[in-house]
Structure formats: C-alpha cells, structure tokens
Structure 1
C-alpha cells in the first residue's frame, strides 16, 4: 500500500505504484508516473509529463519535471523519463525536453545525483554516473555510462561526455570529453586516461594500455586529429575482443564530435 503523507498534494490523475512513498508537503502532478518502490522526499515537486521507474529515491526540496528554461518553449507536452534505482538528492532540478530536440530528457539507471545538481532540458544521461554536488549541465548535453562530474563543474550546452570519463571539480567544460579521459580546469583540458576508474570496473591491463596508446596518438604525438584517427583505426583493426571494442568506442566518439574535443 502506498505511503502518502497527509500533507502531500497528489493529483488524482497521477499514476502511482502501490508501494510508493511520498513525504510531507510533496506535490505530485497529474501526468506523473511513479514506479514501484520509489520514494519522494518532503517538499519535493514532481510535475510535467514525467515517468520514474522502480526504486528511485528523491531527496527533500527537489524539483523534477519542471518546464525547460528555454525561451523557445511554448508549452509543448515534452517529457522527462527516469529509469530505475536512481538517487537524486536535495534541491536538485531536472527539466523536461523541448520540441527543438527529441522532446525528452532521459536519465538511465543506477545514477547517483547529489545535492543542488541541475540537469537541463533534453539532456541524455546514461547509467551508473555520478554527479557531485552543484554540478550543472546545460541543455542537450549527453553523458555516457559511468561518467563522473566533480562538484561545481559546469558543462556548456550540446557538449558530450564519453563513457567512463571524469570531469574534475569546479571545471568548465565547453567541448566534448572522449570516453575514458580525465579532464579538469577552469577551461577543462585533458589529463590522461581514467586508469584507476577503469581498473575498479574490471578493465584488463591490455585494454587500458591500448587506450593509453590511443590517448597519446590524439594528445601527445603531434599528429593532426585526422592522422591520429587513422592510426587508431589501424590499431582497432589489429585487435579483437574487449580491446577492439574500447578502441572502437574512442574512434566512434571522435568521428561524431560536433563541438570538437577538448585539446
């Protein structure tokens, strides 16, 4: 049976699983779906066309599913979709999408989103990411699986952060971070491969070594980006299994970067 505090305001049109928990003074809008085991903290607002999956935990005073902060928005029924087992802490704000993009802001599964984080309209966040307190990402940003954003990091709109990348605290990111790379700085620059993070996630030494070689080709060799990509392509063709997969993800990211990569 749902545990809804007597002071909470829940629209009768909201779609709630039988075992959700909604804290004091929380507000749940008419177009909201809350999956099994999801908990909404006190004073939080979940509104808009918003769907949360199973076992999510929303902290106190969070604002989830609000209108995009985009002056082109004209009230279109855009959406926010959040997967399963996410922790979204106090005072976080997450907005729905816009008609100028796919119309959906998406957050995957098992993400750890700390206090005061902002995730703007049309962002696409993968699985198992960490957003430290006060990390702020502008509209249309894509964040890959297992990426980590440090506290007070700021990310420019339309930037992409590759899987397993790490952005240091108080960094300003205005271009894409390739997968597996550590970046930091008031204008973020690359600082090598996220070796320790990859080891913790079970990447084999030969895969890490191959990624280090790819990093050196892009950032240390003096080659143009096109020349480096050609050499990484040759390395990928010579490998198999996990090593080839990792190099291929690097190459695919470089080939599809729209704002250019950090240099």
Structure 2
C-alpha cells in the first residue's frame, strides 16, 4: 500500500502508484503522477504537470516541477518528465518547460543527481548522467547519456554536453562540449579523452583508439572544424561497427554546433 506520512499533503487528484512512499511534510500537487516504488522524502514539494517514473528516490527538501524561472513565462501550463531509477539528493530544483520549445523539461533514467543541483526550463538530461553538487543547468541545456558535470559548474543556456563527456570542478561552460572529452580550467578547454569514464563503461581498446584519433583531429591538429569533420568521416569502416557508431555520434554532434561554438 502507498505509505503517506500523516503530515504530508497529497492532493486527491494526484496519481500515485500503490507502493509509493511519501515522507513527512511533503507536498504533492494535483497534476502529479508518480510511478511504482518511488520514495518522496521529507519536505519535498512536487507540483505542476509532473510525471515521475518508477524506483526514483527524492531526498529531503527538493522542489520538483515548479514554474520556470523565466521572466517571459506567462503562467502557461507546461510539464516536467522524469524517468526511472533516478537518485535526487537534497535541495535540488527542477523546473517545468516553456513554450519557447515544446513545453517539457526532461530527465531520463538512472541518473545520479547530487545536492543543490538546478535543472532549468526546457533542459533535456539523458540517462546514466552524474550531476555533482551545485551543478547548475540554465534553460534549454542538453546533457547526453553518461555525461558528468562537476561540482559547482555552471552551464550556459542552449549549451549541449555530449555523451560520455566529463566537465571538471567549477567549469564555466559557455560553449558546447564534445562527446567523449574531458574539459576543465578557466577559461574552459578540452584537455583529453575521458579515458576513465570510457574504461569504466568497458569501451574496447579499438573503440578508444578511434576516439583518440577524433580527439587529435578536432583539438590537436589545428584544423578548421569543417576539415576535421571531413577527416573524421574518412575514419569510417577502418575498425569495428561500434567504432563507426562513435564516429557517427561525434559527427552528428559537430554538425549541430550552435552559435556559441565548441569548447576547444
């Protein structure tokens, strides 16, 4: 049975799976839907049109689904969607979307989100990411699968962080971060391939060799980005199918680098 603490306030219109647990003084609004086995800790507020999957855990005092911190927002009903098996630690803030995009902020599944993390309106966070304490994502940020955002880092609006990328401590991220790379410093720069992350995820030596070649072409050979893309394209078919998938992911990312440019 759903376990709701006597001091919690759960709107009768909220939809909670039968085995959801709601802690002391938590507040859950009328448009909220929460999936099986999710635990909502003490003093957590979940509001807005928020949909949460299964097996999530929200630690005390987070604000989930509040209206976007966007002065142009006119009170429109927008949404927040959260997947499965996420850990959300204390004092996190996740906002709903705006109609500047499709009106939905999304957080995927299997993410480890530490204390004081802010996910602003229209962000799209993938799966298996780690957002370390006080990481702050401004509006419209994209975070790829398996990416890591270091503690006290700030990510500028509309910036994209590629899959498997690693942002070091206190990163000032105002440009796109390429997949598979480690960036740090002030000003931010691409330092190397994220070898530690790739090895933890059992990337083969052959795949890592291909990624190293891409790193050299983009960041070490002094090539214009368009020429680096052409030479990366020429790497296709030289290794495994997985290597070709890594090439495709990188080329897809580079083809969509925005006006803010790429951290190089």
Query: Which residue of the partner structure matches residue 46 of structure 2?
Result: 46
Q: Is the 8 A contact 1:174 1:187 kept in 2?
A: no
SS in structure 2 opposite 1:186?
A: coil
Q: Is the 8 A contact 2:207 2:240 kept in 1?
A: no
Q: Which runs of 5+ in 2 are unaligned?
A: none
Query: Which residue of the partner structure matches residue 173 of structure 2?
Result: 173
Measured in 2, the distance between the counterparts of 1:240 and 1:40 equals 44
Measured in 1, the distance between the counterparts of 2:186 and 2:123 equals 22
Query: Which residue of the partner structure matches residue 135 of structure 1?
Result: 135
Query: Which residue of the partner structure matches residue 92 of structure 1?
Result: 92
Measured in 2, the distance between the counterparts of 1:187 and 1:89 equals 29
Measured in 1, the distance between the counterparts of 2:205 and 2:238 equals 17
Cα offset for 1:183? Answer: 0.4
Query: Which residue of the partner structure matches residue 110 of structure 1?
Result: 110
Q: Is the 8 A contact 2:52 2:81 kept in 1?
A: yes
Deviations 1:149-194 (CA, angstroms, capped at 9, x unpaired): 1110110000000000000011100000110000012332101100
Cα offset for 1:126? Answer: 0.4
Q: Is the 8 A contact 2:68 2:97 kept in 1?
A: yes
Q: Which runs of 5+ in 1 are unaligned?
A: none
Show the 5 A alignment for 1:39-78.
39-78=39-78
TM-score (normalizing by structure 2)? 0.98
SS in structure 2 opposite 1:235?
A: coil
Query: Which residue of the partner structure matches residue 260 of structure 1?
Result: 261
Deviations 1:117-174 (CA, angstroms, capped at 9, x unpaired): 0000000000000001000010000000000011101100000000000000111000
Deviations 1:90-118 (CA, angstroms, capped at 9, x unpaired): 00000000011111000000000000000
Query: Which residue of the partner structure matches residue 198 of structure 2?
Result: 198
Q: Which stretch shows the higher mean deviation, 86-95 or 233-242?
A: 233-242
Measured in 2, the distance between the counterparts of 1:243 and 1:184 equals 26
Measured in 2, the distance between the counterparts of 1:243 and 1:197 equals 16
Measured in 2, the distance between the counterparts of 1:237 and 1:73 equals 48
Q: Is the 8 A contact 1:22 1:41 kept in 2?
A: yes
Cα offset for 1:238? Answer: 3.9
Measured in 1, the distance between the counterparts of 2:64 and 2:205 equals 41
Show the 5 A alignment for 1:122-161.
122-161=122-161
Measured in 2, the distance between the counterparts of 1:14 and 1:97 equals 20
Deviations 1:42-63 (CA, angstroms, capped at 9, x unpaired): 0110000000000100010000
1:36 correspondence with 2:36: yes
Query: Which residue of the partner structure matches residue 244 of structure 1?
Result: 244
Measured in 2, the distance between the counterparts of 1:171 and 1:160 equals 14
Query: Which residue of the partner structure matches residue 187 of structure 1?
Result: 187
Measured in 2, the distance between the counterparts of 1:187 and 1:126 equals 26
Alpha-carbon RMSD across the aligned residues, in angstroms, is 0.8
Measured in 1, the distance between the counterparts of 2:40 and 2:187 equals 36
TM-score (normalizing by structure 1)? 0.98
Cα offset for 1:7? Answer: 0.4
Query: Which residue of the partner structure matches residue 11 of structure 2?
Result: 11
Cα offset for 1:237? Answer: 4.6
